[in-house]
Structure 1
Amino acid sequence: MGGSQFILRQKLEDFSFYFFPIIDRFPTREKWALCSQIKNCVYRLMRRCIQVEKSRDKRRFAFEMDVDMELLRYLIRLAHKSRYLNSKRLQTVSQKVGELGRILGGMLRSFGVQP
């Protein structure tokens, strides 16, 4: 397993432990909509990270992770615009997602994919 994949996997796990309790406090009507979409997106990112580690087709799964990362950013902005995340939390979450994105970008470059 490459170093960047291991770091990304650990950072994804840390992110989910930080962010999931926050989104669990979203209004009840969003529990099965936006909250569920965000969690599923993070789960897909973790699945893709494992696929990058285990697969021979690392480029494909890394590119799919990049697409899922963009979706996660959109869902987080949507949560903020819907006033489920305050500006301070948005800033913290955005920093964490930015860090994930930088690690993923480095991984993509190492596989010869332009992020």
Structure 2
Amino acid sequence: MDSKTTLQKKAEVFLEKIYPLLKNFPASEKFCLCQEIKQANYRLIRDVVLFTNIRTAKRMEYLQEADAEKTLLLTLFAVARNQKYITKGKALELQTDLAEIGRIIGGLQQAYYKQTGAQNPQQAPYSKK
């Protein structure tokens, strides 16, 4: 199985996992924190699909945006945990799932930069390869 489709499937499974969790948030957060979590997840899936299907130089931007959405989701779940909308155990489980998605994104980024010979903007220009 292609790792790009694996990433998309992981993001979709993650969305299915958080939907029941969001139903337990207080009504005051339904259109704030819940909506932002759902929208960030939708954007993550959208960026992964665009990365998979677009074959231009802009392709890497979509993967970087997906990585940013993953980081935003980590922050939003930390806020939910601090507000006691989710348990510590559930927050840890979600962090583990997002870490796995992050590892896949990182692997795709490394493979891309190795294949194209382009400079990874996340590495310092003077760092050893």
In structure 2, distance between residues paired with 1:91 and 1:72:
13
Residue identity (%): 29
Q: Secondary structure in 1 aligned to 2:86?
A: coil
1:111 and 1:33 map into 2 onto residues whose CA distance is 36
Give the whole-Å Cα distance in 1 for the aligned partners of 2:20 and 2:102. Answer: 22
CA separation in 2, counterparts of 1:4 and 1:82? 35
Which position in structure 1 is the counterpart of 2:17?
A: 18
Report the secondary structure of 2:79's partner residue: helix
Q: What amino acid is the match of 1:3?
A: D
Amino acid of the structure 2 residue aligned with 1:22: L
Larger mean CA deviation between 27-36 and 56-65 belongs to 56-65
Q: Which sits farther off after the overlay, 54-63 or 36-45?
A: 54-63
Q: Distance in 2 between matches of 1:68 and 1:34?
A: 14
Q: How much does 1:91 deviate?
A: 1.1
RMSD: 1.4
Q: Distance in 1 between matches of 2:24 and 2:99?
A: 23
1:86 and 1:37 map into 2 onto residues whose CA distance is: 19
Give the structure 2 partner of residue 48 of structure 1: 47
The structure showing larger relative contact order (alpha-carbon pairs under 8 Å, at least 6 residues apart) is 1
Following superposition, the deviation at residue 20 of structure 1 comes to: 1.3
Answering whether residue 33 of structure 2 is matched by residue 3 of structure 1, we say: no
CA distance in 1, matches of 2:14, 2:67: 16
Q: Which has the larger radius of gyration?
A: 2
* Structure 1 unaligned spans of 5+: none
Runs of 4+ in 1 over 3 A off after TM superposition: none
Mapping of residues 30-109 of structure 1, within 5 Å: 30-56=29-55, 57-109=58-110
Q: How many residues align?
A: 114
> TM (normalized to structure 2)?
0.83
Unaligned runs of 5+ in 2: 114-119, 124-129
Cα-to-partner distance string for 1:22-52 (whole Å, 9 max, x where unaligned): 0121000000000000000000000001100
Are 1:58 and 1:111, in contact at CA under 8 Å, matched by a contact in 2? no
